[in-house]
Amino acid sequence: MALEAHIQELERRHEVLGKEIEDAVAHPSASDLEIADMKRRKLQLKDEIEKLRAS
């Protein structure tokens, strides 16, 4: 059960980060580097979620 809770938390963080990216893209004041960093972190979360589900 702890594994499923961990996966759910990662999914929640993935979703929140996706919304933050959408907000940053909508505001011209956001730097491209910040957006790229957020996208990288979101991809890392997705990879971790997939790895945990496969095991």
* Domain tally, the chain: 1
pTM of the shown model: 0.88
CA-to-CA distance for 19 and 6, rounded, in angstroms?
Answer: 20
The DSSP letter of residue 31 is -
Domain around 41: 2-54
The pLDDT tens digits for 15-38 are: 999 999 999 999 988 899 999 999
Residues 6+ apart with CB under 8 A from 46: 14
Q: What is the mean pLDDT of the chain?
A: 95
Position 28 scores a pLDDT of 85
Query: Tell me, what's the pLDDT at 16?
Result: 98
User: What residues contact residue 42 under an 8 Å CB cut-off, 6+ apart?
Assistant: 14, 17, 18, 21
